[in-house]
Structure 1
Amino acid sequence: MNRYELKKLVSQKLKLVRVEAGFTQEQMSHMIGISKKTLVQIEKGRLVTGWTAAVAVCALFSESQVLNSALDGNPLEVVNRAAVD
């Protein structure tokens, strides 16, 4: 999986990860360092998250069942592989 594929997958799963963790859009956007407006656009499928936010999601929510299932394993390992591609 390359960087773009990881960013796209994280974007597609971001709302599920947020809901799974029990965070509001405001809380989640603050945690991953993006504006709430940007988060809403990502959750609606209008934007793809940036690399930094995708890495933050994978690091902060590495125990997420949604991410682990979507990435077939540990999100941080996927980030490490994508970072060198």
Structure 2
Amino acid sequence: MNRCQFVDDHHRRHGVKRLCDILGLSRSSFYYWRRTAAARAARQNVEAGLAARIRKVHQESDGCAAGTAPPSRTKRSRRRRT
């Protein structure tokens, strides 16, 4: 839990000013954090979707980053060279 989340969770009982003073957090930072919560949540959703796509592509490519097997894993490279 970050400090802003703590202030948000407890501000009704103790007040934003008091909590921010105790935690060494500027009130403007807290209010900025609160104002940008929707954008932060949207960005996290996009990033989670992107991470899922990356995992899927990585799995489908047999664990290869570029989508093709490295030379050591191809049929041709397994043949004995004479």
What TM-score does the superposition give when structure 2 sets the normalisation length? 0.33
Kindly name which structure, 1 or 2, has the bigger radius of gyration based on alpha carbons: 2
Q: What TM-score does the superposition give when structure 1 sets the normalisation length?
A: 0.32
